[in-house]
Amino acid sequence: MSNENEANENEANENEANENEPSTYGFELPLLLFGGFRSIIDELHAELARRGHPDLRPAHGFALQAIGLGGATASEAGRRLGISKQAAGKTIDRLEELGYVHRADDDQDRRRKLVRITPHGLDALATSAMIFEDIRSRWAGALGPARLSALEADLRAMAAGEAFRLDVPGWFGS
Is residue 66 assigned to a domain? yes
DSSP string, 43-77: HHHHHHHHTT-TT--HHHHHHHHHH-TT-B-HHHH
**Radius of gyration of the chain measured on its C-alpha atoms:** 23
When the pLDDT of each residue in the chain is averaged and rounded to a whole number, the result is: 86
Query: At 48, which CATH number?
Result: 1.10.10.10
Is residue 21 assigned to a domain? no
**Structural domain that includes position 148:** 30-171
Is residue 1 assigned to a domain? no
Is residue 78 assigned to a domain? yes
Is residue 2 assigned to a domain? no
Is residue 5 assigned to a domain? no
Q: Read off the pLDDT of residues 91-100 as tens digits, 9 standing for 90 and up.
A: 999 999 999 9
* pLDDT computed for residue 133 by the predictor: 98
Q: Read off the pLDDT of residues 104-153 as tens digits, 9 standing for 90 and up.
A: 987 777 788 899 999 999 999 999 999 999 999 999 999 999 999 999 99
pTM of the model: 0.78
Number of domains into which the chain is organized: 1
CB 106, CB 113: distance < 8 Å: yes
